Amino acid sequence: MNGIRKPVHLAVYDTLADWETGHATAFLARAGYPVRTVAAATTAPVTSIGGLRVQPDLALAELRPEDSSLLILPGADLWDTTDDLAPFARTARAFLDAGVPVAAICGATAGLAREGLLDDRAHTSAVSFYLAATGYAGGGRYVEADAVTDRGLITAGPTEPVAFAREVLGLLGAYEGEVLDAWYRLFHDSDPEAYAVLEKAGA
């Protein structure tokens, strides 16, 4: 991919699971993708589940799919305890309808299930019965896998931040082929031989 890359937008909200998207955003940034944080209603600071305070770059109403390379939705307690994050699921629908990819991990997959976005796409999450509790119609498309990509939508469970990042990096072409495989082997399997491949590639 050449030229100026559109930003990747990372949704941020109170109780966001800060460990779930770090690999993806860090290496997208290293590959030249600006990362911008987007909050629901205002740009007031939010606090992650780990106590990190994040100052959002913009509010959801300012976000347009055509200005973005990808929308990343991390998990958060709020996905399962309130409807406060439903606007992010609706925005995910707008992104997918516009042909712009979305990546959801952990509780965000339940939000997308409630929005109907997993009914006709292969997907995964923490466990199948977690999504089944949403009452969604996509149970037959659930896949027991670390991470799944189907028609522009990436899903993963909370224990798979590296597999999640692999799908993100591959979908956007940040890393490809042997380099993407080596990246995954290094960060998922601690394979020392993979480091040499990445160093040679300048990744």
Instruction: Please give the average per-residue pLDDT across 30-50, as a whole number.
Output: 96
Lowest average pLDDT, out of 95-99, 175-179, 198-202, goes to: 198-202
Q: What is the pLDDT of residue 4?
A: 80
CA separation for the pair 54, 39 (Å, rounded): 10
- Residue 58 has phi, psi (to 5 degrees) of -155, 165
Instruction: Please give the average per-residue pLDDT across 97-112, as a whole number.
Output: 98
Q: Is 60 exceeded by the pLDDT of residue 50?
A: yes
User: Got the DSSP string for the chain?
Assistant: --SPPPPEEEE--TTB-TTSSHHHHHHHHHTT--EEEEESS----EE-TTS-EE--SEEGGG--GGG-SEEEE--BTHHHH-STTHHHHHHHHHHHHTT--EEEETHHHHHHHHTTTTTTS-B--S-HHHHHTTT-S-GGGB--SSEEEETTEEEE-TT-HHHHHHHHHHHTTSS-HHHHHHHHHHHHH--HHHHHHHHHHT-
CA separation for the pair 160, 24 (Å, rounded): 11
Catalytic residues: 106
pLDDT digits (tens, 9 = 90+) for 52-101: 999 999 999 999 999 999 999 999 999 999 999 999 999 999 999 999 99
pLDDT band at 203 (very low <50, low <70, confident <90, very high): confident
pLDDT band at 3 (very low <50, low <70, confident <90, very high): low
Q: What is the pLDDT of residue 99?
A: 98
Query: What's the whole-number average pLDDT of the chain?
Result: 96
Q: Is 70 exceeded by the pLDDT of residue 2?
A: no
Q: Is 50 exceeded by the pLDDT of residue 5?
A: yes
Q: What is the pLDDT of residue 1?
A: 44
pLDDT band at 202 (very low <50, low <70, confident <90, very high): confident
CA separation for the pair 74, 78 (Å, rounded): 11
Global pTM value: 0.96
